[in-house]
Amino acid sequence: MHYYSLQHKAPKVDFRTATIQGQAPDGGLYFPESIQQLPAAVLSNLAGISREALAYEVIRPFVGETIPSAELQRIVTETINFPIPLKHVHNGIYALELFHGPTLAFKDIGARFMSRCLGYFARDEKQPITVLVATSGDTGGAVASGFHNVEGVRVVILYPSGKVSSVQEKQLTTFGDNIHALEVDGNFDDCQQLVKRAFKDTGLTSQLFLTSANSINVARWLPQQFYYFFALQQWKENQPPVFSVPSGNFGNICAGIMAWKAGLPVRHFIAACNANDVVPRFLETGDYQPRTAIPTISNAMDVGDPSNFVRILEIIGNDRTMLKTILSSYRTSDQRTKELIRTMYQQHAYLPDPHGAVGFDALGNWIQQHPDHKGIVLETAHPIKFLDVVEPVIGQPVPVPASIEETLTKTKNATPIASDYGALKDYLVNSNPF
């Protein structure tokens, strides 16, 4: 399997090179040369195959010969060694709970897979690898956990000051060792632009071995297909599901559309958005206009220029008419998000986080228009990660999972920097890598 740049001005590379580089030299995102159909024997027997075997079948074509089979099987097994249950909430609406991993967020899967791939590739490198990543919330903690003490790898995480939850901040700033957090005076788009500029800086990349752990990296993005297949393993309804996906940078829903393209039976996808509604506007008008991100209570979705949307367009051949047959999008206000959290908890005994609430709202809107459809919301994070939003809404404490109690007692360790590329470059070049 080879990967090409969506800017079409860089050489094709294999999975190893695409993972290590993160972004193509021309600034484009890497995209697989082909999307292979999964064998019919696998697709017709999803419930009869183990999660480990299924995930291996899904990812193997994308990895090619860059990782030996036994090593890839080990990586996959370690990546998914926690539950991913599908729970019925009410009236044909289900929640796929992606928050049972070490940092209580869906990004654990992508971060764990990528960290293990990069750890394997780093064995052959003569200089340390610097993983540079921007986060709007959950990516930072997942990457910090996945890469903590991975030999030969330094991680630098940029996050917007005051725009992540208190729990998210603790998760990305308290590891120490090879994990470094930069608290940026700006929003997520500012952080993402700093990261993109670093990769385009040939003077910097000649000094440092840089790669990215954002969903722009194929090793972070592609394994997110796994849980769509895991959902179908547990699906008992007699029709394919509609997937409602809380969407910020659009890597998650893009992975789902990749799974559909490979043969997974899906009826429709819904990109559930907050006030940052670039994609809903595009689907309505055909005009794609990036905007400055608007802060909301579903902060991990506060993205005004979603990087992975270009990959979705590539999957469907840049055909907007075809896109609208498989993808719809809704926007939800903060007020409505709070209403959903409260009513779902009171009426259905289910407590979503703010991002999941946006997903439930979007799916509810869809089913009102298509009452014969049934669907799955990707519940992307545990509500404890947003207790400062959720607790005032439900009027009581959110139970603290044992896995996070120790993290909450640790001391934040972050370096404040301006939203200035010179400040970032100085840190990368002159700070102690480990």
Identify the DSSP state of 206: T
Residues 6+ apart with CB under 8 A from 392: none
Catalytic (active site) residue 107:
yes
DSSP for 123-186 reads: TT-SSPEEEEEE-SSHHHHHHHHHHTT-TTEEEEEEEETT-S-HHHHHHHHS--TTEEEEEEES
Cα distance between residue 411 and residue 173, in whole Å:
8
Maximal C-alpha separation, the chain = 60
- Among 154, 237, 140, residue whose Cα is nearest residue 192: 140
Cα distance between residue 227 and residue 288, in whole Å:
29
Catalytically annotated residue among 9, 12, 87, 107: 107
Cα distance between residue 92 and residue 69, in whole Å:
39
Dihedral angle sign, alpha carbons of residues 118, 124, 125, 128 = positive
Residue bearing tokens 């703010």 = 354
Dihedral angle sign, alpha carbons of residues 385, 148, 184, 5 = negative
Written as six digits, the tokens of 432 are: 């102690």
Q: Which helix (H) or strand (E) holds 270?
A: strand 268-273
Q: Identify whether the C-beta of residue 92 lies closer than 8 Å to the C-beta of residue 58.
A: no
User: Could you list the active site residues?
Assistant: 107
